Chains A and B, each alone.
Chain A
């Protein structure tokens, strides 16, 4: 079991303003704190042309976090691969891999915002082919860098498994969907005759450890608010089988409630139980979604401490017993 946290987006928002450079200082500070606490991975995220400075260069931000640490893995969930020159991305991954001693991992996302494709002159319909080009270039230049893909579609997740790639699931996915996707990924891998180690299944989850009713209310409010961002970005998840659609563009209120209903908030024991259910759904790596804009840095550090000292040891112990 690996434990990570995310998503560092390096924003300065309308509702939680800070000097834009302060966001990068906090990234470095947070990375050091996470490493000291024994976390395995810090996850970054990428967008282009958003008013709040949402980080457009995960390569550069990752290089900073890697340079500030010695053991921590820095991963991107996701980098928008279709909008960067593939050969250059491959060279950058090789450089990050070499500089960090193998601590960089690359998530390759397709992107979904028209304004980003249009700004970069990339036809949206080419995004799948361009991601393949990026993957090929990265594998050629930096064969040791693990590649992560993200999708909420079972067939796409199965393909990722068949090709030996890890998958990272959205924190908004209900547990039923996580279970189906994890199974699809496992089946895809096992049906592929690839052999070797099974690529990992990682899941972002909205998590907060607190015994204070006021903080509990605050964190639920801010989880809800954090998904308003996705309404602004125009993100949506289509309906699949038993899983309802999550449309942040047309049904904002419903999508927000659905996303927030996945949150695991409470005492250390309550959070441990909730996360155990996620692990039992077939998840190998938990990525705690604790970077929410309303939470000031001391609160984020406090929850990182509590996760590391009160929750992760319980989950590791159970894993040992199960094994």
Chain B
């Protein structure tokens, strides 16, 4: 199982850097609604490798517009976007339609949709309007992962073939290719044993990617790296490896600062004037 951290609203960039340094596979933006994409874009700029889970609130806008936002984030992040689609206030039928159109708009095919809530193209403008629209830019990824959450997610997800975020009463499906989960943890040395048990239990239940929600991700990140990721990184992990007393930290800089492709380097004065 792979682990990630939920980022605190307003602290996303710093939290995400801590998560990446803490070997997390993914981070999740928790700021919802209008704050979501600005926060996710800041995370994209602050990190290089972590997958960026961005909340996509159905009902907040046209599904094609939401898809465009996801696609731009995917390009900005070099193919690291994951859409956590929240069914919001929509009923099951409405959520199913919006989800279907959102997915269609993220595929590499022209979009044509005739539903109760949306018609794309609408057929209201232009004498020679095309019969379908191509939503651009295309995502960088072969396919942007879509995970579903919200009140009607369990009713909508399985029928649509979209995985539902486990946790909070929703069980993991151990047969799913990808089964994301959300888990509240203490994220401190004092709660380490309980956190370890909870993470292992989710792994046993079949989760593949778990987002840990801790009070302070910068405190949690080194503990996740040292104790939790190894724990679920192999069956029968020998805990002595993590719990042994290590020699003092290496003298000098903690990390090699790479070439011009390293954003950290050019922000610190390698490129430009």
Chain A residues in the interface with B (C-beta under 8 A) = 10, 12, 20-21, 23-25, 28-29, 32-33, 36-37, 48-57, 59-61, 63-64, 66-68, 83-85, 87-96, 98-99, 114-115, 117-124, 141, 305
Contact of B38 among A23, A49, A84, A99 (CB under 8 A): A99
B34 an interface residue at 8 Å Cβ cutoff? Answer: yes
- Flag if B37 contacts A63 (CB, 8 Å): yes
Q: Report the stretch among B63-71, B198-206, B230-238, B246-254 that lies at the interface.
A: B63-71
Residue of A nearest to B57 (CB): A88
A114 touches B61 (CB 8 A): no
* Nearest CB in chain B: distance from A139 CB, A: 15
Give the CA-CA distance A155 to B14 in the complex, in Å: 48
Q: Which residue of A lies closest to B37 (CB)?
A: A60
Query: Which applies to chain A's interface (DSSP): helix, strand, loop or mixed?
Result: helix
Contacting residues, chain A, for B193 (C-beta < 8 A): none
Q: Is the CB of A60 within 8 A of B60?
A: no
- Give the residues in chain B near A89, CB-CB below 8 Å: 34
Q: CB within 8 A of B140: which of A10, A20, A28, A50?
A: A20
Q: Please tell me if the beta carbons of A48 and B41 are within 8 angstroms of each other in the complex.
A: no
Residues in A whose Cβ lies below 8 Å from that of B120: 119, 121
Output the residue of B118, B133, B137, B272 with the most chain A CB within 10 A.
B137
Count A-B contacts at CB 8 Å: 174
Instruction: State A60–B34 Cα separation when bound (angstroms).
Output: 11
Closest to A104 in B: B38
Choose one: B38, B79, B119; the contact of A63 (CB below 8 Å).
Answer: B38
- Say whether A88 contacts B75, CB under 8 Å: no
Whether A53 touches B136, Cβ cut-off 8 Å, given contacts A59-B38, A91-B33, is yes
Contact of A49 among B39, B125, B133 (CB under 8 A): B133
Set A68, A92, A119: member contacting B121, Cβ < 8 A: A119
Contacts of A119 in B (CB 8 A): 64, 120-122, 133
Determine if B35 and A95 form an interchain contact, defined as CB atoms under 8 angstroms apart.
yes
